Chain A
Amino acid sequence: MLRFLLGRLGLLIPTFIGVTLVSFAFIRLLPGDPAELLAGERGISPERRAEVLSQLGFDKPYWQQYLDYIFGIFQGDLGISFVSKKPVLDEFMTLFPATAELAICAIIIAVCVGIPAGIFAAVKRGSVADQAIMGTALVGYSMPIFWWGLLLIIFFSGILGWTPVSGRISLMFFFPQVTGFMLIDSLLSGEKGAFLSAVRHLILPSIVLATIPLAVIARQTRSAMLEVLGEDYVRTARAKGLPPRAVIGLHALRNALIPVVTTIGLQVGVLLAGAILTETIFSWPGIGKWLVDSISRRDYLVVQGGLLLIAGIIMLVNLIVDVLYGLINPRIRHH
């Protein structure tokens, strides 16, 4: 197992170096003068320009800039946002829990609805229910989620008035951030109605973000189930008289879920890309909105740091999924 883990880690190193190169190159490829871009000032004097460049280390040769950048990364130094004047890593750490909370809720919705729907569709293959589920899944898979979010706002916030339009919690509540997860913090605060307010703010964005993963998981579960249901051991289980529920739950599902786990892991990238759109629509103060805002504000050190951190998270989650996959499927481990 350890060798398997180390092997996977070894594969990640070149990718990680590549990711640092991409984020390093990004700022240097931007059109325009780097000093003006990074200081956010236009028409600056030559003295000020030289000062900014030496402050950022841009007057050194490229290889040295890159080495400095790498050393910075290992010391947690990703530069300073010129808009907020705060370190990029600190900003990321304050905003990340908001995105994580949203993404976790979305993946919970996607798994809890997607897997049962997929199983049901597979067991009732060809029925009206199957066609309805798969039709809905295809619509979900084709959904422009930024539009879907707007529709939900029109209906639930505009017409019914059930949910708020934006933000994480009503402005009436004010309590210290302990975990950064609003659902937990609002419970800890003990303020009446705070938790409910947090839930009401969270529900629409989670549904929007869950839409595509949900569709993908439902489709994947169905096809994995169908494959497994045709296997000899399932037929044997049926032939020895096990009730259908036991056949599906015990014999088929456990094997069908193996590819589904990989699919769920692959959704992390989808979720983070979706978070960019979802957070923009719902003014959700997470890293997706932060990055979009930073791109339009030309706060490029933030974009550089965000690129690196997000790619790092995706690589880490993929590694965890790989290891989990090895754990539940010993055939992979021994190859």
Chain B
Amino acid sequence: MTNTSPVTKADTSKLEAESRNATKAQLTEFWHYFSQNKGAVIGLVIFALLVLTAVFAPLLAPHNPDFQYRDSFLVPPFWEEGGKATFILGTDAVGRDILSRLIFGARLSLLVGVMVVTIALTGGIIIGVVAGYMRGAVDTFIMRIMDIILAFPSLLLALVLVAILGPGLINAMIAIAIVLQPHFVRLTRAAVLAERSRDYVVAAKVAGASHMRLMFKTILPNCLAPLIVQATLSFSNAILDAAALGFLGMGAQPPTPEWGTMLAEAREFILRAWWVVTFPGLAILITVLAINLVGDGLRDALDPKLKRS
């Protein structure tokens, strides 16, 4: 489209520079609103720290997460009586260092979040745009399928899908992505329906844009705000659900240092060794809370209705 008219190169580059400036201004405005929410900034900082922990896990972890110290079963954290300074948060029932397992577990939880959101978001956007743009029978068919998925409690459906696919972290991720997908489809479809009859879309259509271009280049970028917020919420949901599946024995399998799986292994010791239960759960809570804080901040910053109030 850009090079078909007799417009000079200078004009094109001027236009490009203008659109770059506009994007920059939008980002500045976004940051202005986002940074007003203190909780959101704190959440973002914690999340960044978690990402760093996950990336540099081998450097940060004091021990090998799978190594069993045979002389140190259920050692309490270092500040408790009987604790050892080398095991800061204590050891589990087979003598593995809990802190190291938590640090390596951060990798798995963040991986789950990233993978699930990527799969659910990509699939959801494509299906949702097609449904909203095509309307008619295609739309009805797609939305009925989404209704069916939503008719089941998400965790139950994920459990059943894992029963079909076989237990394991990868299959748990696929199951959770399928379960979270309908939310993205519904949101995208609703946004596309709202946008498709706007003037700029009609103008692009009249100018001869193809269906693909109209769907993904003209309409989609204007529907992104709610999708970004939903993606954050799904990120934390995915971590919670994966941990729940691990806890029920259907997610990551032992000895993987996944937080939910660690909790499942620790269950029988709850009344004897509080630390094996407390820390993995705390790690899940802090991670999910940080992401939800960011999500709240994003929603406030991206939702123009709330901005003015």
A296 interface residue per 8 A CB criterion: yes
Q: How large is the interface on A (under 10, 10 to 19, 20 to 34, 35 or more residues)?
A: 35 or more
Give the CA-CA distance A143 to B160 in the complex, in Å.
23
Contacts of B288 in A (CB 8 A): 142-144
Residue of A nearest to B278 (CB): A151
Please tell me if B151 contacts chain A, counting CB pairs below 8 Å: yes
- Are the C-beta atoms of A154 and B160 separated by less than 8 Å? no
**How many whole Å from B306's CB to the nearest CB in chain A?**
9
Q: Mark A258-297, 1 if CB is under 8 A from B, else 0.
A: 0000000000011011001100100000000001100110
Contact yes or no, A276 B159, CB < 8 A: yes
Contact B148 A19 (CB under 8 A): yes
A-contact bits for B224-267, CB 8 A (1 contact / 0 none): 00000000000010001001100111100000000010010001
Asked if B153 CB lies within 8 Å of chain A CBs, one says yes
Chain A contacts of B260 at CB under 8 A?
A: 144, 146
CA distance A18 to B296 in the complex (A): 35
Q: Is the CB of A18 within 8 A of B289?
A: no
Distance in Å from the Cβ of A185 to the closest Cβ of chain B?
27
Secondary structure of the B contact surface, majority rule: helix
Interface string of B258-291 (1 = CB under 8 A from A): 0010010001001100100110110011001100
Q: Mark B154-183, 1 if CB is under 8 A from A, else 0.
A: 111001100110100000000000000000
Report the minimum CB–CB distance from B296 to chain A (whole Å).
7
Task: Tell me how far the C-beta of A157 lies from the nearest C-beta in chain B, rounded to whole angstroms.
Answer: 8
Chain B residue numbers with a CB within 8 Å of A276 are: 153, 155-156, 159, 248
Contact with B along A108-146 (1 / 0, CB 8 A): 000000000000000000000000000100110111101
Q: Is the CB of B164 within 8 A of A146?
A: no
Contact yes or no, A30 B164, CB < 8 A: yes
A138 to chain B: closest residue by CB: B292
A44 at interface by CB-CB < 8 Å:
no
**Bound-state Cα–Cα, A150 to B293, Å:** 25
Binds B, one of A187-195, A242-250, A303-311: A303-311
Q: Which of A30, A270, A277, A296 contacts B244 (CB 8 A)?
A: A277
Interface size on B, residues (CB 8 A): 43
Which chain B residues in 5-36 approach chain A with CB under 8 Å? none
User: With A14-B144, A30-B163, A142-B292 as given contacts, are A147 and B155 in contact (CB-CB < 8 Å)?
Assistant: no
B272 to chain A, nearest CB (A): 9
Residue contact A146 to B160, C-beta cutoff 8 Å = no
Given the complex of chains A and B, what is the CA–CA distance between A72 and B244 in angstroms? 33
Shortest beta-carbon distance from A194 to chain B in Å: 26
Query: What is the CA–CA distance of A21 and B240 in the complex, to the nearest angstrom?
Result: 28
> Which single residue of chain B is at the shortest CB-CB distance from A30?
B164
- What is the CA–CA distance of A68 and B288 in the complex, to the nearest angstrom? 45
Question: B residues within 8 A CB of A148?
Answer: 281
Q: Is the CB of B284 within 8 A of A144?
A: yes
The yes or no answer to A230 lying at the interface (CB within 8 A) is yes
Q: Is B152 an interface residue (CB 8 A)?
A: yes
Question: Contacts A31-B166, A277-B155: A158 and B270 contacting too (C-beta < 8 A)?
Answer: yes
CB contacts (< 8 Å) of B281 on chain A: these are 144, 147-148, 150-151
Contact with A along B125-136 (1 / 0, CB 8 A): 000000000000
Residue A2, interface by CB 8 Å: no
**Complex CA distance for A279 and B153, rounded to whole angstroms:** 15
Complex-state Cα separation, A295 to B157, whole angstroms? 12
Q: List the A side residues contacting B296 at CB < 8 Å.
A: 138
Q: Decide if B145 touches A18 in the complex (CB within 8 Å).
A: yes
Quick check: A292 and B159 within 8 Å, CB to CB? yes
Residue from A154, A158, A280, A303 within 8 A of B248 (CB atoms)? A280
Q: Are B293 and A138 in contact (CB under 8 A)?
A: yes
Chain A residues, CB < 8 A from B263: 146-147, 150
Contacts of A174-229 to chain B: CB distance below 8 A = 226
Among B148, B156, B243, B277, the one with the most A-chain Cβ atoms within 10 Å of its Cβ is B156
B274 → A minimal CB distance (Å): 6
Minimum distance in angstroms from B235 CB to a CB of chain A: 12
With contact pairs A15-B151, A139-B285 given, residues A147 and B277 touching in the complex (Cβ less than 8 Å): yes
A residues less than 8 Å from B151 (CB atoms) = 15, 18-19, 311, 314-315
Q: How far is the CB of A229 from chain B (nearest CB, A)?
A: 11
Question: Are B144 and A15 in contact (CB-based, < 8 A)?
Answer: yes
A150 in contact with B270 (CB, 8 Å): yes
B309 at the interface (CB under 8 A from A): yes
Query: For the complex, what is the distance from the CA of A153 to the CA of B293, rounded to whole Å?
Result: 28
Other A-B pairs, 20, CB within 8 Å; known A30-B163, A144-B288, A277-B244: A14-B144, A15-B151, A18-B145, A18-B147, A18-B151, A26-B160, A29-B164, A31-B164, A135-B39, A138-B293, A139-B285, A142-B236, A142-B285, A143-B285, A146-B243, A150-B270, A158-B270, A273-B155, A276-B248, A295-B163
The 4 closest A-B pairs by CB, nearest first: A147-B281, A18-B148, A273-B153, A273-B155
A–B Cβ pairs within 8 angstroms, 19 of them: A18-B147, A135-B39, A142-B240, A142-B288, A144-B281, A144-B285, A146-B244, A146-B247, A148-B281, A150-B263, A150-B277, A154-B277, A157-B271, A273-B156, A276-B153, A295-B160, A303-B163, A310-B156, A314-B153
Binding site for A on B (CB under 8 A): 39, 144-145, 147-148, 150-156, 159-160, 163-164, 166, 236, 240, 243-244, 247-250, 260, 263, 267, 270-271, 274, 277-278, 280-281, 284-285, 288-289, 292-293, 296, 309
